Every structure is written in C-alpha cells, then in structure tokens.
Amino acid sequence: MEIEYGASVRDKNGKVLGTVNRVLRDTWTGDISKFSVSTGMADADLFYSAGDIAESTSKEVKLRIAFGQSNSMGIQYGAKVTDSDGKELGMVDYPVSDSLTGEITKFKVSTDTAANDVFFSIDDMDQATPSEVKLKIAFKK
C-alpha cells in the first residue's frame, strides 16, 4: 500500500475529508503506520492508521470508517461535552496530542461544576463530532 501526499481522502460514505499531508512509517519495516489529513477547516489535522484504509490509489484514499467514527476525530476546542445520559458537562478546553504521532490521546474539559481541571481519555468517548463529544460514562450529583 502506498499513500501519496496530496491524495484526496474520503470516508466510507464518500464524504471528502481533505488531503493527505503527512505519512508516518514504522521505523523497522518502513510500512505506513499512520497518516494525517488536512481538512482546511479544523485547527488540527485528522490522524488515521493504515488499518482504517479500505482501498487506496496514488490519487485517493477511501476509509473503511465514516466521519465521526475515529476516536481522535472531532475533538476540537469549544466542542460541547456530554455524558452518556446527555447531561452537558462543559466544553473541550484543551486537546492533548501524542508528541510523536500528533494523535489526540486525551482532552481537558472546562466546567463550572468542578473545582479542578477534568481530563478524559479518548477511550472514555462514545462519539465525537466537530461540535460535540459524547462520553461512555454518566455523572451523578
């Protein structure tokens, strides 16, 4: 499999997400491990793994997932954060990225109800879109 810079990237439903702007390779094998997509709209690039690819050519990459299914997608500053019951917890205040891959690993939520900063892992997410992050967990008073 070969992915070229500038190749168009589409999700499984055919939605154009952007273009490939970085390819990360495994140091030992030289195989593609991850690649980033510049959307031209988001503050941060979208990162995908080679396993997310359904098919690819030198001009286009088609993903096997739909926009919003990837764990790191959609976590942007100001996105509303809700728990599994739909209760609004606050807003994404700071996404934290892995320094090697650039993939978002956790994010800070600003909230009026907590005295300290609240951080969530991408593993705590159920769904993510550019405007909302829904968590797998519920918060009780």
pTM higher than 0.95, yes or no?
Answer: no
Cβ pair 3, 60 in contact under 8 A: no
Residue 41 main-chain phi, psi, to 5 deg: -115, -40
With a CB cutoff of 8 Å and minimum separation 6, the contacts of 100 are none
Domains of the chain by start residue, with CATH: 8-63 (2.30.30.240), 80-135 (2.30.30.240)
Residue 102 has pLDDT above 70, yes or no: no
d(CA 98, CA 109): 18
pLDDT tens digits, residue range 39-81? 776 556 778 888 888 999 889 999 887 765 544 455 777 888 8
With a CB cutoff of 8 Å and minimum separation 6, the contacts of 10 are 16, 17, 60, 61, 62, 63
With a CB cutoff of 8 Å and minimum separation 6, the contacts of 140 are none
Which range, of 27-36, 60-69, 86-95, averages the lowest pLDDT?
A: 60-69
At residue 74, the pLDDT reads 54
**Could you tell me how many residues make up the chain?**
141
Cβ pair 62, 52 in contact under 8 A: no
Nearest alpha carbon to residue 122 among 100, 107, 141: 107
Residue 13 main-chain phi, psi, to 5 deg: -95, 5
Cβ pair 100, 120 in contact under 8 A: no
